[in-house]
């Protein structure tokens, strides 16, 4: 499986910070064509495209998507390894994007090429999508949904690093803006007005206590104040407006609208003159989801992973939003995540365990053999 590790190293050597994915997309295009796989270049934004390959069998069967994002966060400082070197030390490959998630992308591309070599699919269809913008607002996978690539799919897998766990559930995320209204007055007579910043502070302190319902696996929904702004420098004026932004982490059964409703109820309870609304975003916020452990595809991935790993894998959940949420909630596709082990996600000296990459590739290939033969 050295070709899989070589492919991963090639991907890591290409800088692909979110918003600048053109070079890595060109590489994947060329790699797919060299491996005699059909290529569709699907424009998302100018100079930002998803790269898609579609293989069809001669008989009816399951329609599957393998999905992985090619963009990374900024490199940042503090590296002791070349962030674009793909160097391997003590069984770990280091570099920006190794674990998030070029290892997963390498696995799904490699598995597709192996399928082609083995004459698969004989039945059903396989779509492999290397997408942009997951580190921002999921423009790439949302475009797949909007452009019909997910229509009629039976099952999807996202190759995020999961430490070789089968991930059947996902936390979600929404961002809420709150505008607090006050009444302007001279700052030397503050009792003549209503200080919007002071009212906002009362509301923020109360909002930090919001928790939502308790999920048996994932705990409570969390809240974090991202930003606050209001008033003016060196102006003798009681501020009549204050705006702040909160980030809600969502558990299954408690979605964006529930979170917004909870904030609105708190505003009413405290009697603060304020309005709450969703932040403006090009794509839907990532709603949480949970597939039952007895779901046929969760069981399929678990059984296949057990065959490859030699032990039953754990069932886990993903703690941050990613493209799985878009596939489930907007694409209406049962989606499972499975991927390699790694560490220092979004930090310096990010790495992935090389042996886990090999095992992940084997799991994907075996799943495709079982479904598409």
Instruction: Kindly indicate the confidence band of residue 234, based on its pLDDT and cuts at 50, 70 and 90.
Output: confident
Structurally, at CATH architecture level, domain 172-278 sits in: 2-Layer Sandwich (3.30)
Mean pLDDT value of segment 328-352: 97
Topology adopted by domain 2-170+288-372: Aminopeptidase (3.40.630)
Per-residue pLDDT at 233: 86
Three-state SS letters, the chain: CHHHHHHHHHHHCCCCECCCCHHHHHHHHHHHHHCCCCCEEEEEECCEEEEEEEEECCEEEEEEEEEEECCECCCCCCCCCCCCCCCEECCEEECCCHHHHHHHHHHHHHHHHHHHHCCCCCEEEEEEEEECCCCCCCHHHHHHHHCCCCCCCCEEEECCCCCCCEEEEECEEEEEEEEEECECCECCCHHHCECHHHHHHHHHHHHCCCCCCCECCCECCEEEEEEEEECCCCCCECCCEEEEEEEEEECCCCCHHHHHHHHHHHHHHHCCCEEEEECCCCCCCCCCEECCCCCHHHHHHHHHHHHHHCCCCCEEEECCCCHHHHHHHCCCCCEEECCCCEECCCCCCCEEEHHHHHHHHHHHHHHHHHHHC
Mean pLDDT value of segment 343-364: 97
Q: Give the predicted TM-score (pTM) of the model.
A: 0.94
Mean pLDDT value of segment 231-242: 92
pLDDT for residue 320 is more than 90: no
pLDDT for residue 290 is more than 90: yes
Convert the pLDDT of each residue in 97-116 to its tens digit: 999 999 999 999 999 999 99
The full set of domain ranges for the chain reads: 2-170+288-372, 172-278
């Amino acid at each position: 499986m050295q070709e899989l590790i070589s492919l991963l190293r090639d991907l890591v050597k290409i800088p692909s910070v979110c918003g600048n994915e053109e070079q890595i997309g060109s590489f994947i295009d060329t790699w797919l064509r060299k491996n005699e796989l059909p290529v569709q270049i699907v424009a998302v934004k100018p100079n930002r495209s998803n790269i898609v390959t579609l293989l069809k069998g001669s008989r009816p069967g399951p329609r599957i998507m393998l999905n992985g994002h090619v963009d990374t966060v900024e490199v940042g400082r503090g590296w002791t390894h070349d962030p674009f070197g793909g160097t391997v030390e003590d069984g770990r490959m280091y570099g920006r994007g190794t674990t998030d998630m070029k290892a997963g992308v390498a696995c799904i591309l490699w598995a597709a090429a192996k399928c082609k070599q083995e004459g698969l699919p004989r039945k059903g269809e396989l779509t492999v999508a290397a997408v942009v913008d997951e580190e921002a607002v999921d423009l790439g996978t949302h475009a797949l949904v909007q452009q019909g690539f997910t229509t009629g799919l039976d099952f999807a897998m996202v190759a995020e690093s999961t430490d070789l766990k089968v991930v059947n559930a996902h936390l979600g995320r929404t961002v809420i803006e709150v505008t607090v209204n006050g009444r302007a007055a001279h700052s030397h007579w503050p009792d003549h007005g209503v200080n919007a910043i002071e009212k906002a502070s009362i509301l923020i302190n109360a909002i930090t206590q919001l928790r939502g319902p308790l999920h048996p696996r994932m705990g409570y929904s969390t809240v974090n104040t991202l930003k606050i702004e209001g008033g003016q420098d060196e102006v003798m004026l009681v501020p009549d407006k204050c705006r702040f932004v909160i980030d809600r982490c969502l558990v299954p059964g408690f979605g964006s609208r529930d979170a917004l409703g909870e904030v609105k109820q708190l505003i009413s309870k405290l009697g603060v003159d304020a309005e709450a609304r969703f932040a403006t975003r090009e794509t839907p916020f990532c709603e949480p989801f949970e597939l039952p452990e007895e779901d046929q595809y969760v069981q399929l991935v678990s059984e296949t992973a057990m065959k490859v790993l030699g032990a039953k894998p754990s069932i886990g959940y993903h703690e941050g939003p990613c493209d799985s949420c878009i596939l489930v909630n907007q694409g209406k596709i049962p989606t499972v995540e499975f991927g390699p082990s790694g560490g220092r996600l979004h930090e310096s000296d990010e790495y992935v365990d090389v042996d886990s990459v090999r095992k992940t590739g084997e799991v994907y290939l075996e799943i495709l053999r079982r479904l598409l033969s």
